[in-house]
């Protein structure tokens, strides 16, 4: 039944994508004949208005028509240029939710169910939605107990059930591609859907987003010029978050920022340094920093909202990123190459000096440009292209970082077209390297090594006991043979009986065919 439902859901999705001109805009040169025929059909059914739209606009319209799960799929695939290609990923990165809000009465019900308290006991006022997206919407409210103005984010009704239904369709499509399209196997489509499934589950439990805000708030409490809203845990549950209200101007409204007297050049520096600080120092960064999620308050601080998508980097990945950026800043291309090899990102059978030569081909043209035209995001994009030549495996966490850096750098340049990325980045990157790769960093690594050794020593008696038991079991199997428990034996017997049954049927069919041939 689910496979039939998935088939019709895929057919509907194909029809919507064809009608909005998405399919006909895709290149068809490398398609097999049946797919080329389908491509031509898609062009015939496309709306006439679609031809006048940009590809990104067609995608946005189609995915919004298909619903919240498809919007989430598009936003997720924007972080995977290795899967959909750089141009498509770039188009998808422009996809922002444009979903009609649901009613205030429904929001009130969901808040009461989530917090298990009458809503009038919590808020003295709660207004109509001020922003609506594919997963949730936001209301302005006033706490009854303190009179504080707050923002209340409420999950969209039915979104989880809709996503569970649609994820079956995504899995059906991924398995079909995996079995029928040879090129798709390398991209591991089923694994991509697995990652989307996990990402959406996290985003649809608002307690986890609240925890992300809480963690970032602790990390950044002493940071200059950047903050996130405070979480009110008493009035936060699975379906709603209550957080401090942000009074400010959206970073997308450059003219309003200028009229309010904010220093746009300083804001661009604050934005990029904050992002690098979170990435390198904390290993935890806001991964959806488009201008609609960033405000500037009256004090001139950047305030980030909507933390449903966050990225994490381990210590090794942070060291990798910092040394690469600093290597490019200092034009030490052999160092950049060696970092890739030390991290195990490039297989050891390649030559490190040849790899350094390839990296020089990226770095030198960039250093030949004026500061305002140098793009760190472009550099990382070129770097990942070169690493493909040297068999570097896809690193999803680095792709998410790259995608976020592209967005953040783009926002910085809208504030200051002459923004000097390298000059802004050097203090943060240099400080992190001095602290973590200098004497202090060596001492910290030594301390962590000793702590790991202590934990291992603590576990040694248990490990020795497990090794002893394993040795006894192995010796028993050698002496007495392998014994299966009754349930396993019964399962094997049933499977064997089933196989034998089909074997007997096959033999009777063959015998019947032989008899027919003999007597005919």
Catalytic residues: 288
Q: What whole-number distance in Å separates Cα of residue 168 and Cα of residue 115?
A: 31
Residue of 75, 107, 111, 108 whose CA lies nearest to 93:
75
Strand partners, 141: 126, 150
Give per-residue burial for 473-511: e unless 16+ CB within 10 Å, then b: eeeeeeeeeeeeeeeeeeeeeeeeeeeeeeeeeeeeeee
* CA dihedral (385, 387, 389, 391) positive or negative: negative
Cα–Cα distance list, 150 to 118, 206, 229, 275 (Å)? 17, 16, 10, 26
Q: What whole-number distance in Å separates Cα of residue 356 and Cα of residue 160?
A: 48
Phi, psi for 137 (deg, rounded to 5): -140, 165
Q: What is the CA radius of gyration of the chain?
A: 28
Tokens matching residue 31: 């398609």
| Helix 439-480 and helix 421-436, axial crossing angle in degrees, nearest 10 | 60
**Could you write out the three-class secondary structure of 146-199?**
CCCEEEEEEECCCHHHHHHHHHHHHHHHHHHHHHHCHHHHHHCHHHHHHHHHHH
Phi, psi for 73 (deg, rounded to 5): -60, -45
Q: What whole-number distance in Å separates Cα of residue 16 and Cα of residue 6?
A: 15
| Helix 315-330 and helix 396-415, axial crossing angle in degrees, nearest 10 | 50
In terms of phi and psi (left: phi > 0; alpha: psi -120 to 50; beta: otherwise), the region of 366 is alpha
């Amino acid at each position: 039944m689910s496979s039939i439902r998935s088939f019709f859901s895929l057919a509907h999705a194909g029809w919507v994508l064809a009608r909005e001109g998405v399919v006909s805009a895709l290149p068809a040169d490398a398609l097999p004949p049946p797919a080329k025929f389908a491509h031509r059909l898609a062009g015939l059914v496309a709306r006439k208005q679609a031809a006048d739209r940009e590809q990104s606009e067609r995608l946005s319209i189609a995915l919004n028509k298909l619903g919240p799960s498809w919007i989430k799929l598009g936003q997720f695939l924007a972080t995977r240029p290795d899967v959909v290609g750089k141009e498509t990923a770039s188009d998808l990165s422009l996809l922002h939710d444009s979903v009609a809000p649901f009613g205030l009465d429904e929001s009130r019900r969901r808040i009461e169910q989530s917090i298990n308290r009458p809503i009038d006991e919590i808020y003295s006022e709660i207004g109509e939605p001020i922003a609506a997206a594919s997963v949730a919407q936001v209301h302005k409210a006033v706490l009854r107990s303190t009179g504080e103005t707050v923002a209340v984010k409420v999950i969209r009704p039915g979104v989880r059930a809709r996503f569970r239904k649609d994820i079956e369709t995504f899995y059906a499509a991924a398995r079909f591609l995996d079995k029928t399209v040879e090129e798709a196997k390398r991209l591991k489509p089923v694994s991509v859907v697995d990652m989307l499934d996990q990402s959406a589950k996290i985003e649809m439990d608002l307690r986890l987003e609240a925890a992300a805000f809480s963690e970032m708030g602790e990390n950044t409490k002493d940071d200059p010029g950047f903050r996130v809203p405070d979480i009110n845990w008493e009035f936060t549950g699975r379906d709603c978050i209550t957080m401090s209200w942000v009074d400010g101007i959206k970073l997308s409204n450059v003219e309003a920022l200028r009229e309010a007297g904010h220093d746009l050049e300083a804001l661009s520096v604050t934005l990029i340094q904050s992002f690098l600080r979170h990435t390198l120092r904390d290993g935890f960064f806001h991964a959806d920093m488009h201008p609609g999620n960033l405000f500037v308050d009256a004090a001139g601080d950047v305030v980030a909202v909507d933390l449903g998508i966050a990225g994490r980097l381990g210590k090794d990945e942070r060291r990798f990123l910092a040394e690469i950026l600093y290597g490019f800043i200092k034009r030490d291309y052999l160092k950049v190459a060696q970092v890739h090899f030390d991290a195990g990102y490039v297989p050891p059978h390649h030559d490190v000096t040849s790899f350094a030569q390839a990296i020089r081909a990226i770095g030198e043209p960039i250093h030949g440009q004026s500061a305002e035209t140098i793009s760190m995001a472009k550099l990382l994009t070129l770097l990942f292209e070169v690493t493909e030549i040297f068999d570097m495996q896809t690193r999803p966490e680095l792709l998410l970082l790259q995608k976020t850096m592209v967005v953040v750098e783009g926002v910085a340049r809208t504030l200051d077209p002459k923004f000097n990325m390298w000059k802004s980045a050097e203090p943060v990157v240099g400080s992190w390297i001095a602290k973590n790769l200098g004497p202090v960093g060596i001492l910290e690594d030594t301390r962590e090594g000793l702590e790991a050794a202590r934990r291992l020593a603590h576990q040694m008696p248990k490990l020795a006991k497990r090794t002893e038991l394993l040795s006894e079991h192995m010796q028993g199997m050698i002496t007495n043979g392998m014994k299966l428990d009754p349930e396993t034996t019964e399962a094997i017997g049933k499977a064997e009986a089933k196989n034998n049954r089909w074997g007997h049927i096959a033999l009777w069919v063959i015998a019947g065919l032989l008899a027919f041939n003999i007597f005919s």
